[in-house]
């Protein structure tokens, strides 16, 4: 467990250093917009952000008690996500910005998240998409963030969430431009955002998904992620690719 914590801390620290770069700023701007949409309609009493305490991924949420948990400096609570000092079923919302791919035991991180969430509580997760140009860049990259992370495919993440009793209820792919280092080239390829979302939606460099913790015998009607209802690129279409009766092939 100690080794996992060390890898998590080192990976997150280098990711924090990468975010101010043109590449990092490009990803962060898109992700913050998605987190804003995902958390703004989640209500309750407690919300937790795990990691990257220097960025407020809960800024649009109206839950009164919000705090960060991380090993990095600046977190309100210093702890590894494998062992959060939080009571069982006491949190309404957990956000995990790039936590899973930077930890040696991502499945256990999800288990800990499930433990602290109340029934019908929400988790919002971001990660780099292995089915993208960013993954190709990773294959030829150096051992530095974000290329040193263990990218987790969305279908794999969906299966993990299902095993733990989570139900996906929103999400998006984004950042379709090639992972150029220079801001100039990122701007020149900005046209790929709309084109990518329309023609090859599952190849975005980054994804953000939201899931709700379901408990057998309980059912609470919750608002859908409104941004996803009107867009064909919503995550709801992704799981259908594995169904035998999928009309899209």
pLDDT in tens, 47-90: 999 999 999 999 999 999 999 999 888 899 999 999 999 999 99
Q: Phi and psi dihedrals of 242, rounded to 5?
A: -95, -5
3-state DSSP helix/strand/coil % of the chain, to nearest 5: 40, 20, 45
Looking at residue 142, what is its pLDDT?
64
Q: What is the mean pLDDT of residues 3-24?
A: 70
Count the neighbouring beta carbons within 10 Å of the beta carbon of residue 145: 21
Question: What integer pLDDT is reported at residue 240 of this predicted model?
Answer: 44
Answer whether residue 42 shows pLDDT above 80.
Answer: yes
Model confidence at 126: pLDDT above 80: yes
Model pLDDT, residue 175: 94
More confident residue, 208 or 137: 208
Helix (H) / strand (E) containing 171: strand 166-174
Residues in the chain: 249
Q: What's the distance, CA 151 to chain centroid?
A: 11
| 90 exposure class (CB count in 10 Å sphere: 0-12, 13-18, 19+) | middle
Pairwise CA distance, residues 197 & 237, whole Å: 13
**Tokens for 206?**
């980054």
Answer whether residue 9 shows pLDDT above 70: no
pLDDT score recorded for residue 152: 95
Fold observed for domain 2-239: Rossmann fold (3.40.50)
Q: CA-based angle 197:198:202, to the nearest 5?
A: 50
| CA–CA dist 37, 60 (Å, integer) | 8
Closest C-alpha among 114, 101, 228, 115 to residue 157: 101
For residue 205, give the nearest of 175, 235, 182 by alpha carbon. 175
Contact assessment for residue 89 and residue 119, using Cβ atoms and an 8 Å cutoff: yes
């Amino acid at each position: 467990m100690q080794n996992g914590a060390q890898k998590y801390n080192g990976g997150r620290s280098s990711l924090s250093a990468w975010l101010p770069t043109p590449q990092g700023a490009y990803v962060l701007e898109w992700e913050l917009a998605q987190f804003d949409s995902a958390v703004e309609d989640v209500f309750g009493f407690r919300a937790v952000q795990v990691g990257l305490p220097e960025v407020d991924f809960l800024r649009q949420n109206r839950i009164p008690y919000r705090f960060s948990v991380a090993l990095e400096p600046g977190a309100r609570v210093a702890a590894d996500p494998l062992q959060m000092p939080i009571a069982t079923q006491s949190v309404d919302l957990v956000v995990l910005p790039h936590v899973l791919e930077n930890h040696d035991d991502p499945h256990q991180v999800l288990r800990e998240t499930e433990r602290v969430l109340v029934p019908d509580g929400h988790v919002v997760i971001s990660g780099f998409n292995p089915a993208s140009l960013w993954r190709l860049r990773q294959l030829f990259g150096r051992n530095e963030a974000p290329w040193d992370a263990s990218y987790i495919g969305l279908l794999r993440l969906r299966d993990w969430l299902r095993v733990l009793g989570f139900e996906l209820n929103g999400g998006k792919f984004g950042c379709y431009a090639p992972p150029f280092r220079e801001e100039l080239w990122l701007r020149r390829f900005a046209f790929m955002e709309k084109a990518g979302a329309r023609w090859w939606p599952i190849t975005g460099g980054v994804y953000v998904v939201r899931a709700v913790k379901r408990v057998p015998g309980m059912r609470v009607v919750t608002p859908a992620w409104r941004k996803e209802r009107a867009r064909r690129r919503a995550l709801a279409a992704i799981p259908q690719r594995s169904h035998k009766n999928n009309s899209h092939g």
